[in-house]
């Protein structure tokens, strides 16, 4: 059977229609904050600036070089936090290895934290009491719901334990009564585990990490990976593997990432 392609576009368009009304006549500013050369962060930044502009949201693009010091990065993030004209900030991760993320994120105003990465918001998220959540995990949930993928009682194998996707998405799925197995880099015999999944979600950032033999026939595949290979955007799962094995899957490009953008704008409505 032909798999269902879980395209992001119709989901994004639905959110966009709602937001148009909310933003009409309003002046809001979204800032992106990026340190260094990570390709996925740059792809997201470009998308965000474009999506914001298309909704009439003002943007600020703060970018520091790979070699920026901890102090420079903190100063730049603090300036955005303190600027009353900036309503929301999306700090793009990862930061360069020499930057202490926790130290840097302290400079982020929790009220402007669009991706729930300030410890106060992360804590609330963990306790299930935050009114919003990180954008890419919400995008995954929105896609699963839009394409009517059942979650209750389903076995989700989450590949990746990152602070922005794997961890919060695990909590969200558990909240919907899914059974979640979390795998990460030192997991023994990953293929044996992914083959047990009703739903595989990969959020690692490694091309071809999930191969055809690792997907049970008819499983749902949500591919959150954004990798740049020879100038082309690819996910963590090869498109061929998804097409052959999955009953439904998110493409890359055109899947999760498209919706993440709109989720950021939706989070910004908190500031209206
Ligand atoms: N705090 C934080 N939160 C994130 O969610 C986060 C991050 N940092 N750092 C970088 C990664 C990467 N990421 C992408 C999101 C959307 C697209 C996106 O819009 N992709 C389009 C294509 C864009 C194009 O082709 O230029 C698509 O997949 O179709 C890409 C990448 C979010 N991440």
CATH number at residue 230: 3.40.50.720
Q: How far is CA 251 from CA 114, 188, 225, 242, 258, in A?
A: 25, 27, 10, 8, 10
Check whether residue 60 and residue 109 sit in a common domain: yes
Q: How much is the pLDDT for 22?
A: 94
Q: How much is the pLDDT for 130?
A: 81
Q: What is the CA radius of gyration of the chain?
A: 18
| DSSP-derived pairing of the beta strands 232-234 and 227-229 | antiparallel
| Of the residues 81, 100, 126, the one at which a domain ends | 126
3-state secondary structure of 126: helix
Does 267 reside within a domain?
no
Mutate to test the pocket of ligand 1, among 38, 43, 167, 227 (most ligand atoms within 8 A of CB): 43
Please identify every stretch of the chain with a pLDDT value under 70, giving residue numbers as ranges.
none
- Contact indicator for 61, 90 with CB cutoff of 8 Å: no
Q: Report phi then psi at 33, rounded to 5.
A: -130, 115
Check whether residue 183 and residue 245 sit in a common domain: yes
Q: How much is the pLDDT for 131?
A: 79
d(Cα 46, Cα 43) in Å, to the nearest integer?
Answer: 5
The alpha carbon of 139 and the centre of ligand 1 are apart by a number of angstroms equal to 11
Provide the domain count of the chain.
2
- Burial of residue 105 (number of CB atoms within 10 Å: 0-12, 13-18, 19+): buried
Check whether residue 173 and residue 221 sit in a common domain: yes
Reduced 3-state DSSP string for 24-60: CCCCCEEEEEEECCCHHHHHHHHHHHHHHHHCCCEEE
Q: Report phi then psi at 183, rounded to 5.
A: -115, 145
Ligand 1: residue whose CA is nearest its atom 16: 257
Q: For the chain, what is the mean pLDDT?
A: 97
Tokens of 170: 């695990």
Tokens of 185: 């880099």
Apex 45 CA angle, 211 and 114, nearest 5: 95
Check whether residue 140 and residue 71 sit in a common domain: no
Does 10 reside within a domain?
no
- For residue 44, the enclosing domain spans 27-126
Check whether residue 72 and residue 165 sit in a common domain: no
Ligand 1: residue whose CA is nearest its atom 18: 257
Q: Is 218 annotated as a binding residue?
A: no
User: Relative to the CA of 91, which ligand 1 atom is closest?
Assistant: 1
CATH number at residue 92: 3.40.50.10860
Q: How much is the pLDDT for 209?
A: 98
């Amino acid at each position: 059977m032909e798999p269902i392609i879980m395209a992001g576009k119709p989901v994004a368009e639905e959110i966009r229609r709602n937001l148009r009304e909310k933003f009409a006549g309003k002046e809001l500013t979204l800032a992106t904050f990026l340190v260094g050369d990570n390709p996925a962060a740059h792809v997201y930044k470009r998308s965000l600036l474009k999506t914001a502009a298309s909704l009439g949201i003002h943007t600020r693009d703060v970018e520091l070089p790979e070699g920026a010091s901890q102090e420079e990065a903190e100063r730049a993030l603090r300036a955005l936090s303190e600027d009353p004209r900036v309503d929301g900030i999306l700090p793009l991760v990862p930061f360069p290895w020499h930057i202490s993320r926790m130290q840097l994120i302290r400079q982020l105003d929790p009220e402007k934290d669009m991706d729930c990465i300030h410890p106060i918001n992360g804590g609330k998220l963990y306790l299930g009491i935050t009114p919003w959540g990180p954008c890419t995990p919400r995008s995954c949930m929105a896609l699963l719901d839009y394409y009517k993928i059942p979650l209750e009682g389903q076995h989700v194998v989450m590949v990746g334990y990152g602070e922005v996707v794997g961890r919060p998405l695990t909590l969200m799925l558990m909240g919907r009564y899914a059974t979640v197995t979390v795998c990460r880099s030192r997991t023994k015999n990953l293929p044996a585990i992914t083959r047990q999944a009703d739903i595989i979600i990969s959020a690692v950032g490694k091309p071809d990490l999930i191969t055809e033999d690792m997907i049970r026939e008819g499983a749902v595949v949500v591919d959150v990976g954004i990798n740049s290979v020879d100038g082309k955007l690819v996910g963590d799962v090869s498109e061929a593997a998804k097409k052959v094995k999955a009953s439904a899957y998110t493409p890359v490009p055109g899947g999760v990432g498209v919706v993440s953008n709109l989720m950021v704008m939706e989070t910004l409505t908190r500031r209206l």
